[in-house]
């Protein structure tokens, strides 16, 4: 019986179909460990081997990985939320209410999206803190630090554009206060110093951000598209670059 | 007290409460390792060439970490609901109106500087300064390990900026600011009708200058003099300091300018809170 089962297993795992999907076996050899990483699309950004201290939680705090995980969580929950949400002044608030009270697990979905977003802001700041404390921005990783700074801003902007979408008092006034700063941009905001006379509140940088002179329905649509399409795309591109450079600049930093 | 409790228990302020614990914890964790390195020396090359396979060792760590984080996030999401207030109403301004928590350090800076500085120029300097860090920090030591001894200046400046000027200001802006953006202690009741006499004066006024053009020139002289401290220090120390020679003039100009700009915030805070100074420099085009 046992022999028979073994034969059957062998027959399956040696078949052309099986081997077209799984390129390697599962034996406990260094070669297989290497292939496991190299031949897996989800793992291939990793090198086959890392120095032992890279496994140390006390060294990395896992903060970069947690930031990426939070991004994935917001992406998945965000797509689900988009099924129930219309970015118009008439519907936005009602859709969030409907989501909270009538959709099964709607409240949980919204909570996960919001808290993962806040978690991402926390972890990205702590990640930067750790990278600074370990001096990991030093040669040859200077450029990747710069990419990381841009990613920090992108994270803030992602969170900020999402803040408006529930279209409640909290959202409306937080975004009003946040975008009011743009009025004062030197030269480009209508209340800023050195602004030429042609710069008015109907054509300055704040207007470009809000699509209006105050936060309104067109702002909602603009922030929605920025939040769901434009900024996540930018973030993804920059993250790909960031992870690639971590690898190309010699993997996780260490005293070399 | 009830207003403070209402603030602390606001669901959107949970991240700041988390930061109150996370920042000291990670400070302690890194401090311990830095002390260790400073005592025993940097690990040798042999120890660093000790490589392990990513699969299963690193992947296992990532997996366990992801599970723990998802568990925390799951519990957080089940127990605390995301806030939803009344529908937005452009005619009903809440007092105080606060930006999202991660921008509250910037909003707090608005107390001390005009919006074009606090909201645009200084954030621009923060971003430019952060990006510039690897190019102006020429100290080759302390790469890839925690240390205090080998880069005290870099660590002090960054920790001051991050902990005091970013995190602490964020906490002040979130928990201690009430109606009219007035400062309220945790045990105080928020008084929406509180009138704080604005007796602030400009620095030139304090020096007895009453005429606008003279005040303008005086303000310019003070600000220019402040930023001239950088070059003065350079030419004073250049002959004797090997560090300055290695840094070079261009890097030094950037470092000193960013450093003085950063210190301008606590200096202006001290001037405002201690001496009731409104502006240091009043010009026809802008005020600083």
Q: Give the helix/strand (H/E) hosting B51.
A: strand B51-53
Q: Are B256 and B230 in contact (CB under 8 A)?
A: yes
Same domain, A69 and A40: no
Same domain, B138 and B226: no
A137·B133 Cβ contact <8 A: yes
Q: Give the helix/strand (H/E) hosting A49.
A: strand A49-51
* Paired residues of B287 in beta bridges: B282
Out of B30, B80, B87, whose CB is closest to A167? B87
Coil/strand/helix, residue B199: coil
Cα–Cα distance measured from residue B157 to residue B255, given in angstroms and rounded to the nearest whole number: 11
Tell me if A255 is assigned to some domain. Answer: no
B116·A189 Cβ contact <8 A: yes
Residue B81's closest chain A neighbor by CA?
A111
Same domain, B177 and B216: no
- In tens, the pLDDT along B193-243 reads 988 888 899 999 999 999 999 999 999 999 999 999 999 999 998 888 888
Per the structure block, which two tokens stand in for A75? Answer: 């992406």
B50·A142 Cβ contact <8 A: no
pLDDT of residue B282: 92
Same domain, B183 and B248: no
Same domain, A76 and A14: no
Same domain, B61 and B15: yes
Q: What domain range includes position B185?
A: 1-39+52-189
Closest Cα to residue A218, out of A209, A227, A228?
Answer: A209
Provide DSSP, B78-102.
HHSPPP--SBP-TT---SS----GG
Q: Are B279 and B287 in contact (CB under 8 A)?
A: yes
For chain B, residues with pLDDT lower than 70 are 44-48
Question: End of a domain among A12, A31, A49?
Answer: A49
Tell me if A150 is assigned to some domain. Answer: yes
* Averaged pLDDT in 10-residue chunks for chain A of 256 residues: 84 91 87 90 88 88 96 97 96 96 96 97 97 94 96 97 96 94 91 90 93 95 97 97 92 76
Q: Sign (positive/negative) of CA torsion A162, A164, A169, A170?
A: positive
pLDDT of residue A27: 86
Q: Residue A40, Cα to own-chain centre: how many angstroms?
A: 22
Question: End of a domain among B139, B154, B189?
Answer: B189
Domain of A102: which CATH number?
1.20.810.10
Domain count within chain A: 2
Per the structure block, which two tokens stand in for A242? Answer: 């960031």
The ipTM (two decimal places) reads 0.94
Residue A256 carries which DSSP code? -
Out of A51, A73, A256, whose CB is closest to B51? A51
A133·B73 Cβ contact <8 A: no
Same domain, B156 and B272: no
Tell me if B46 is assigned to some domain. Answer: no
Tell me if B216 is assigned to some domain. Answer: yes
- Measured between beta carbons, which residues in chain B are less than 8 angstroms from residue A170? 12, 83-85
Same domain, A35 and A71: no
Same domain, A147 and A237: yes
Cα–Cα distance measured from residue B236 to residue B285, given in angstroms and rounded to the nearest whole number: 34
Domain count within chain B: 2
- Measured between beta carbons, which residues in chain A are less than 8 angstroms from residue B30? 130, 133
Tell me if B45 is assigned to some domain. Answer: no
Same domain, A38 and A75: no
Same domain, A45 and A67: no
- Measured between beta carbons, which residues in chain B are less than 8 angstroms from residue A112? 73-74, 77
Out of A152, A160, A181, whose CB is closest to B100? A160
Per the structure block, which two tokens stand in for B1? Answer: 């007290």
Cα–Cα distance measured from residue A69 to residue A151, given in angstroms and rounded to the nearest whole number: 15
Same domain, B179 and B62: yes
Same domain, B213 and B185: no
Same domain, B115 and B206: no
Decide: residue B103, CB within 10 A, 0-12 exposed, 13-18 middle, 19+ buried: buried
A58·B135 Cβ contact <8 A: no
Question: End of a domain among B189, B216, B232?
Answer: B189
Cα–Cα distance measured from residue A213 to residue A205, given in angstroms and rounded to the nearest whole number: 10
Query: What does the CA dihedral B19, B21, B25, B26 come to, rounded to 10 degrees?
Result: -10
The pairing of strands B51-53 and A49-51 is antiparallel
Same domain, B27 and B129: yes
pLDDT of residue B65: 96
Tell me if A253 is assigned to some domain. Answer: no
- Measured between beta carbons, which residues in chain A are less than 8 angstroms from residue B89? 169, 172
Tell me if A164 is assigned to some domain. Answer: yes
Coil/strand/helix, residue A138: coil
Same domain, A111 and A45: no
Cα–Cα distance measured from residue A114 to residue A105, given in angstroms and rounded to the nearest whole number: 14
Same domain, A96 and A43: no
Q: Within 13 Å, how many C-alpha atoms sit on residue B36's CB side? A: 11
Q: Are B37 and B145 in contact (CB under 8 A)?
A: yes
Same domain, B258 and B121: no
Same domain, A32 and A84: no
- Measured between beta carbons, which residues in chain A are less than 8 angstroms from residue B55? 33, 36-37, 43
Tell me if B63 is assigned to some domain. Answer: yes
A34·B53 Cβ contact <8 A: yes
Task: Write the CA distances from B268 to B34, B119, B200, B203, B218, integer angstroms.
Answer: 33, 15, 13, 11, 17
Q: Are B192 and B95 in contact (CB under 8 A)?
A: yes
Residue B103's closest chain A neighbor by CA?
A178
Tell me if A144 is assigned to some domain. Answer: yes
Q: Are B139 and B151 in contact (CB under 8 A)?
A: yes
Same domain, B143 and B210: no
Q: Are B167 and B17 in contact (CB under 8 A)?
A: no
B162 touches chain A (CB under 8 A): yes
Cα–Cα distance measured from residue A168 to residue A145, given in angstroms and rounded to the nearest whole number: 37
Tell me if A81 is assigned to some domain. Answer: yes
Tell me if B44 is assigned to some domain. Answer: no
Cα–Cα distance measured from residue A215 to residue B90, given in angstroms and rounded to the nearest whole number: 8
pLDDT of residue B47: 63
Residue B181 carries which DSSP code? G
Decide: residue A31, CB within 10 A, 0-12 exposed, 13-18 middle, 19+ buried: exposed
Same domain, A34 and A86: no
Nearest 5 degrees, angle CA A238-CA A58-CA B71? 70
Same domain, A110 and A166: yes
Q: Sign (positive/negative) of CA torsion B269, B273, B276, B278?
A: positive
Same domain, B233 and B179: no
- Measured between beta carbons, which residues in chain B are less than 8 angstroms from residue A166? 84
Out of B82, B102, B143, whose CB is closest to A255? B143
* Range list of β-strands (E), chain B: 51-53
Per the structure block, which two tokens stand in for B51? Answer: 């490589």
Question: End of a domain among B141, B171, B189?
Answer: B189
Q: What domain range includes position A5?
A: 1-49
Same domain, A70 and A36: no
Per the structure block, which two tokens stand in for B65? Answer: 């970490």
Tell me if A146 is assigned to some domain. Answer: yes
Cα–Cα distance measured from residue B253 to residue B260, given in angstroms and rounded to the nearest whole number: 11
Closest Cα to residue A245, out of A140, A149, A151, A152?
Answer: A140
Tell me if A131 is assigned to some domain. Answer: yes
């Amino acid at each position: 019986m046992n022999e028979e089962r073994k034969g059957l297993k062998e027959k399956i795992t040696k078949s052309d179909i099986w081997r077209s999907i799984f390129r390697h076996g599962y034996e406990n050899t260094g070669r297989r460990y290497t292939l496991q990483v190299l031949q897996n699309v989800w793992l291939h950004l990793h090198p086959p081997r890392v120095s032992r201290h890279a496994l140390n939680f006390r060294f990395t705090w896992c903060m970069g990985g947690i930031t990426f995980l939070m991004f994935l969580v917001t992406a998945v929950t965000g797509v689900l939320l988009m099924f129930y949400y219309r970015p118009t002044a008439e519907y936005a608030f009602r859709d969030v209410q409907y989501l909270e009270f009538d959709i099964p697990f709607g409240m949980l979905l919204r909570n996960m999206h919001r808290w993962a977003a806040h978690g991402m802001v926390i972890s990205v700041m702590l990640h930067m803190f750790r990278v600074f404390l370990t001096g990991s921005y030093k040669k040859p990783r200077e450029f990747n630090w710069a990419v990381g700074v841009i990613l920090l801003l992108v994270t803030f902007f992602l969170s900020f554009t999402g803040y408006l979408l529930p279209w409640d008092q909290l959202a409306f006034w937080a975004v009003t206060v946040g975008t009011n700063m743009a009025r004062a941009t030197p030269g480009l905001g209508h209340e800023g110093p050195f602004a030429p006379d042609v710069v008015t509140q109907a054509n300055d940088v704040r207007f470009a951000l809000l699509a209006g002179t105050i936060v309104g329905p067109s702002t909602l649509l603009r922030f929605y598209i920025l939040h769901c399409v434009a900024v996540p795309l930018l973030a993804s591109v920059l993250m790909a670059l960031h992870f690639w450079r971590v690898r190309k600049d010699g993997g996780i930093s260490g005293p070399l | 007290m009830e207003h403070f409790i209402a603030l602390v228990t606001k669901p959107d302020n949970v991240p700041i409460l988390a930061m109150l614990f996370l920042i000291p914890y990670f400070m302690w964790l890194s401090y311990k390792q830095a002390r260790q390195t400073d005592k025993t020396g940097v690990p040798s090359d042999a120890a660093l060439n000790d490589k392990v396979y990513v699969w299963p060792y690193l992947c296992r760590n990532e997996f366990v970490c992801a599970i723990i984080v998802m568990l925390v996030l799951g519990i957080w999401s089940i127990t605390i609901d995301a806030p939803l207030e009344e529908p937005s109403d452009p005619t009903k301004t809440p007092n105080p109106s606060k930006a999202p928590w991660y921008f509250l350090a910037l909003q707090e800076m608005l107390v001390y500087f005009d919006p074009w500085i606090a909201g645009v120029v200084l954030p621009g300097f923060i971003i430019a300064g952060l990006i510039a860090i690897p190019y102006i920090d020429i100290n080759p030591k302390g790469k890839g390990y925690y240390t205090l001894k080998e880069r005290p200046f870099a660590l002090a400046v960054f920790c001051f900026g991050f902990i005091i000027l970013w995190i602490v200001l964020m906490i002040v802006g979130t928990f201690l600011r009430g109606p009219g953006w007035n400062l309220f202690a945790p045990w105080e009741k928020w008084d929406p009708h509180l009138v704080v006499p604005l007796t602030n004066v400009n620095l030139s006024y304090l020096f007895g200058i009453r005429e606008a053009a003279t005040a303008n020139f005086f303000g310019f002289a003070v600000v220019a003099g402040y930023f001239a401290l950088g070059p003065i220090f350079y030419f004073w120390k250049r002959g004797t300091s090997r560090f300055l020679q290695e840094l070079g003039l261009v890097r030094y100009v950037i470092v000193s300018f960013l450093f003085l700009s950063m210190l301008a915030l606590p200096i202006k805070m001290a001037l405002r809170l201690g001496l009731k100074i409104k502006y240091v420099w009043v010009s026809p085009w802008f005020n600083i």
